[in-house]
Amino acid sequence: MKERKIIPISHPVLAGNEEKYVQECLRTSWISSIGRFVPLFEEAFARFCGVAYGVATSSGTTALHLALLALGVKEGDEVLVPTLTYVATANAVRYCGAHPVFIDSEPRTWNLDPGRLEEHITPRTRGIIVVHLYGHPADMDPILELARRHGLFVLEDAAQAHGAEYRGRKVGSFGAAAVFSFFGNKIITTGEGGMVVTNDVALRDKLRLLRGQGMDPERRYWFPVVGYNYRLTNLQAAIGLAQLEQIQSRLQERRQIAQWYQKHLAPLGDRLVLPREESWARHSFWMYTVLLGDRVKRSRDEVIDALAEMGIETRPVFYPVHVLPPYSGNSSRCPVAEAIAARGLSLPTHSLLSEEDVSYIATCLKRACEESD
Q: 205-226 pLDDT, tens per residue?
A: 999 999 999 999 999 999 999 9
Question: Is the model's pLDDT at 133 over the cut of 70?
Answer: yes
Confidence class for position 91, pLDDT limits 50, 70, 90? very high
- How does the average pLDDT of the chain come out, rounded? 96
Question: Is the model's pLDDT at 331 over the cut of 80?
Answer: no
Q: Distance between the two ends of the chain, CA-based, in angstroms?
A: 31
Query: In the chain, where does the domain assigned CATH 3.40.640.10 lie?
Result: 18-104+111-244
Question: Is the model's pLDDT at 3 over the cut of 70?
Answer: no
State residue 106 phi and psi, 5-degree precision.
-95, 150
Rounded mean pLDDT, 99-108: 97
pLDDT at 5 (0 to 100) = 80
CATH architecture of 247-370: Alpha-Beta Complex (3.90)
DSSP letter string, 308-364: HHTTB--EEPPPPGGGSGGGTTS----HHHHHHHHHEEEEP-STT--HHHHHHHHHH
pLDDT at 1 (0 to 100) = 39
pLDDT at 121 (0 to 100) = 98
Question: Is the model's pLDDT at 371 over the cut of 80?
Answer: no
Q: 136-177 pLDDT, tens per residue?
A: 999 999 999 999 999 999 999 999 999 999 999 999 999 999
Rounded mean pLDDT, 278-293: 98
Question: Is the model's pLDDT at 90 over the cut of 50?
Answer: yes
Does the domain at 18-104+111-244 match CATH 3.40.640.10? Answer given as yes
Q: Residue 55 to residues 28, 43, 160, 306, 372: CA-CA distances in angstroms? A: 23, 9, 18, 43, 49
Predicted TM-score (pTM) of this structure: 0.96
Rounded mean pLDDT, 50-79: 98
The fraction of the chain above a pLDDT of 90, given in percent, is 95
Q: Encode burial over 53-80: b for 16+ CB neighbours within 10 A, e otherwise.
A: bbbbbbbbbbbbbbbbbbbebeeebbbb
Q: 18-48 pLDDT, tens per residue?
A: 999 999 999 999 999 999 999 999 999 999 9
Give the number of residues written for the chain.
Answer: 373
Query: In the chain, where does the domain assigned CATH 3.90.1150.10 lie?
Result: 247-370
Q: Give the rounded distance of the alpha carbon of 74 from its chain centre.
A: 24
How are beta strands 125-131 and 153-157 bridged, if at all? parallel
pLDDT at 372 (0 to 100) = 53
Distance CA 292, CA 306 (A): 14
Rounded mean pLDDT, 274-283: 97
